[in-house]
Amino acid sequence: MEEKAFQDYYPDEMSYCYGCGRSNDDGLHIKSYWEGEESVARFTPRHYHTALPGFVYGGLVASLIDCHGVGTAAAATYRAEGRSMDTEPRLRFVTASLKVDYVRPTPIGVQLEARGKVKEVGKRKVVVSIEVTAKGTVCARGEVIAVRVPESMKQKGNR
Protein backbone atom coordinates (compact mmCIF):
# COMPACT_ATOMS: atom_id res chain seq x y z
CA MET A 1 0.00 0.00 0.00
CA GLU A 2 1.34 3.40 -0.94
CA GLU A 3 2.18 5.69 1.97
CA LYS A 4 -0.27 8.53 2.38
CA ALA A 5 1.09 12.07 2.30
CA PHE A 6 0.45 14.67 5.02
CA GLN A 7 -1.94 16.41 2.64
CA ASP A 8 -3.95 13.23 2.09
CA TYR A 9 -5.17 13.54 5.67
CA TYR A 10 -6.60 17.04 5.23
CA PRO A 11 -10.38 17.11 5.70
CA ASP A 12 -12.26 16.78 2.39
CA GLU A 13 -13.61 20.33 2.50
CA MET A 14 -10.04 21.63 2.93
CA SER A 15 -8.46 19.56 0.16
CA TYR A 16 -8.78 22.06 -2.70
CA CYS A 17 -5.47 23.90 -2.31
CA TYR A 18 -3.94 24.77 -5.68
CA GLY A 19 -0.52 23.77 -4.39
CA CYS A 20 -1.25 20.53 -2.60
CA GLY A 21 -4.96 19.70 -2.56
CA ARG A 22 -5.87 16.21 -3.71
CA SER A 23 -9.26 17.54 -4.88
CA ASN A 24 -7.90 20.38 -7.05
CA ASP A 25 -7.81 18.96 -10.58
CA ASP A 26 -5.79 21.91 -11.88
CA GLY A 27 -3.33 22.00 -8.98
CA LEU A 28 0.26 20.99 -8.39
CA HIS A 29 -0.41 18.09 -5.99
CA ILE A 30 2.63 18.68 -3.81
CA LYS A 31 2.94 15.84 -1.30
CA SER A 32 4.94 15.70 1.92
CA TYR A 33 6.20 12.77 4.01
CA TRP A 34 8.29 12.13 7.09
CA GLU A 35 11.82 10.89 6.70
CA GLY A 36 12.83 10.47 10.31
CA GLU A 37 12.82 13.86 12.00
CA GLU A 38 12.70 15.72 8.69
CA SER A 39 9.86 16.11 6.23
CA VAL A 40 10.37 15.76 2.50
CA ALA A 41 8.42 16.76 -0.60
CA ARG A 42 9.69 15.94 -4.06
CA PHE A 43 8.30 17.82 -7.02
CA THR A 44 9.28 18.14 -10.66
CA PRO A 45 8.24 21.51 -12.08
CA ARG A 46 6.46 21.47 -15.41
CA HIS A 47 8.22 22.71 -18.53
CA TYR A 48 6.36 26.01 -18.41
CA HIS A 49 7.30 26.81 -14.80
CA THR A 50 10.23 28.87 -16.05
CA ALA A 51 11.84 32.05 -14.78
CA LEU A 52 14.46 32.66 -17.43
CA PRO A 53 14.77 29.73 -19.83
CA GLY A 54 16.54 26.84 -18.10
CA PHE A 55 15.52 27.85 -14.58
CA VAL A 56 12.54 27.37 -12.30
CA TYR A 57 10.13 30.23 -11.55
CA GLY A 58 10.69 31.68 -8.08
CA GLY A 59 6.96 31.69 -7.36
CA LEU A 60 6.89 27.94 -7.92
CA VAL A 61 9.76 27.42 -5.48
CA ALA A 62 7.85 29.62 -3.00
CA SER A 63 4.72 27.50 -3.54
CA LEU A 64 6.65 24.29 -2.87
CA ILE A 65 8.05 25.75 0.35
CA ASP A 66 4.62 27.09 1.33
CA CYS A 67 2.66 23.85 0.96
CA HIS A 68 5.43 21.70 2.34
CA GLY A 69 5.74 23.98 5.36
CA VAL A 70 2.02 24.02 6.07
CA GLY A 71 1.77 20.26 5.66
CA THR A 72 4.74 19.73 7.95
CA ALA A 73 3.12 22.01 10.53
CA ALA A 74 0.07 19.75 10.68
CA ALA A 75 2.13 16.56 10.79
CA ALA A 76 4.40 17.95 13.53
CA THR A 77 1.38 18.88 15.63
CA TYR A 78 -0.07 15.36 15.40
CA ARG A 79 3.33 14.09 16.53
CA ALA A 80 3.47 16.58 19.39
CA GLU A 81 -0.01 15.46 20.45
CA GLY A 82 1.09 11.84 20.30
CA ARG A 83 -1.52 10.73 17.78
CA SER A 84 -1.60 9.60 14.18
CA MET A 85 -2.86 11.68 11.27
CA ASP A 86 -5.97 9.56 10.78
CA THR A 87 -7.36 10.52 14.19
CA GLU A 88 -9.82 13.31 14.94
CA PRO A 89 -9.80 16.24 15.07
CA ARG A 90 -8.08 16.58 11.70
CA LEU A 91 -5.55 19.39 11.63
CA ARG A 92 -5.18 22.04 8.94
CA PHE A 93 -2.82 24.98 9.01
CA VAL A 94 -2.49 28.06 6.81
CA THR A 95 0.48 30.31 6.14
CA ALA A 96 0.92 33.39 8.30
CA SER A 97 4.34 34.26 6.91
CA LEU A 98 6.60 32.95 4.16
CA LYS A 99 10.21 33.81 3.51
CA VAL A 100 12.37 32.52 0.68
CA ASP A 101 16.03 33.24 -0.02
CA TYR A 102 17.00 32.25 -3.53
CA VAL A 103 20.54 31.03 -2.99
CA ARG A 104 21.23 30.19 -6.62
CA PRO A 105 19.20 29.70 -9.82
CA THR A 106 17.12 26.50 -9.66
CA PRO A 107 17.59 24.34 -12.76
CA ILE A 108 14.43 23.20 -14.55
CA GLY A 109 13.91 19.66 -15.84
CA VAL A 110 14.95 17.87 -12.67
CA GLN A 111 13.12 16.80 -9.54
CA LEU A 112 13.37 19.25 -6.65
CA GLU A 113 13.56 18.12 -3.07
CA ALA A 114 12.14 20.29 -0.27
CA ARG A 115 13.38 19.18 3.12
CA GLY A 116 11.75 20.59 6.24
CA LYS A 117 12.92 20.93 9.81
CA VAL A 118 10.44 21.75 12.55
CA LYS A 119 11.79 24.68 14.55
CA GLU A 120 8.91 25.32 16.92
CA VAL A 121 5.55 23.72 17.70
CA GLY A 122 3.30 26.07 19.65
CA LYS A 123 -0.33 25.83 20.63
CA ARG A 124 -1.42 27.70 17.53
CA LYS A 125 1.78 28.43 15.61
CA VAL A 126 4.37 26.14 14.02
CA VAL A 127 7.65 27.28 12.44
CA VAL A 128 9.28 25.15 9.75
CA SER A 129 12.55 25.85 7.93
CA ILE A 130 12.96 24.32 4.50
CA GLU A 131 15.79 23.80 2.05
CA VAL A 132 15.11 23.17 -1.62
CA THR A 133 17.76 21.23 -3.48
CA ALA A 134 18.23 20.20 -7.09
CA LYS A 135 20.55 17.24 -7.66
CA GLY A 136 21.91 17.69 -4.15
CA THR A 137 22.69 21.41 -4.47
CA VAL A 138 20.82 23.91 -2.31
CA CYS A 139 18.94 26.40 -4.49
CA ALA A 140 16.63 28.04 -1.96
CA ARG A 141 16.12 28.31 1.77
CA GLY A 142 12.78 29.20 3.27
CA GLU A 143 10.83 29.57 6.45
CA VAL A 144 7.12 29.12 6.95
CA ILE A 145 5.19 30.34 9.96
CA ALA A 146 1.98 28.32 9.89
CA VAL A 147 -1.07 28.84 12.09
CA ARG A 148 -4.21 26.81 12.68
CA VAL A 149 -6.82 27.60 10.08
CA PRO A 150 -8.95 30.46 11.42
CA GLU A 151 -12.69 29.97 11.98
CA SER A 152 -13.44 32.66 9.37
CA MET A 153 -11.85 30.52 6.65
CA LYS A 154 -13.62 27.37 7.78
CA GLN A 155 -17.01 29.03 7.67
CA LYS A 156 -16.48 30.26 4.15
CA GLY A 157 -15.23 26.84 3.16
CA ASN A 158 -18.40 25.22 4.41
CA ARG A 159 -20.73 27.43 2.45
Cβ count within 10 A of residue 23:
12
Site string for a copy of itself, 78-97 (x = CB under 8 A): --------------x-xxxx
Closest approach, Cβ 40 to a copy of itself, in A, equals 19
Give the one residue of 7, 32, 39, 66 binding a copy of itself; rule: CB under 8 A.
66
Is 50 among the residues that bind a copy of itself (CB under 8 A)?
yes
Q: Is the Cβ of residue 35 or residue 151 nearer to a copy of itself in the bound state?
A: 151
* Minimum distance from residue 36 beta carbon to a copy of itself (Å): 27
Give Cβ neighbours of residue 125 (< 8 Å, ≥ 6 apart): 96, 145, 146, 147
* Closest of 138, 131, 126 to residue 64, by C-alpha: 131
Give strand pairing partners of 102: 140
User: What does DSSP assign to residue 56?
Assistant: B
Among 114, 112, 117, CA closest to 38: 117
- Size, binding site for a copy of itself by CB under 8 A: 47
CB atoms within 10 A of CB 143: 18
- Pick between residue 117 and residue 141 the one whose CB is nearest to a copy of itself: 141
Which of 10, 13, 47 has its CA nearest to residue 29? 10
Question: Which residues share a beta bridge with 56?
Answer: 50
- Scan residues 94-153 and list those touching a copy of itself (CB under 8 A): 94-102, 105, 149-150, 152-153
Closest CB to a copy of itself among residues 35, 48: 48
Q: Which residues bind a copy of itself (CB under 8 A)?
A: 13-14, 16-19, 21, 24-27, 46, 48-55, 57-60, 62-63, 66-67, 92, 94-102, 105, 149-150, 152-154, 156-157, 159
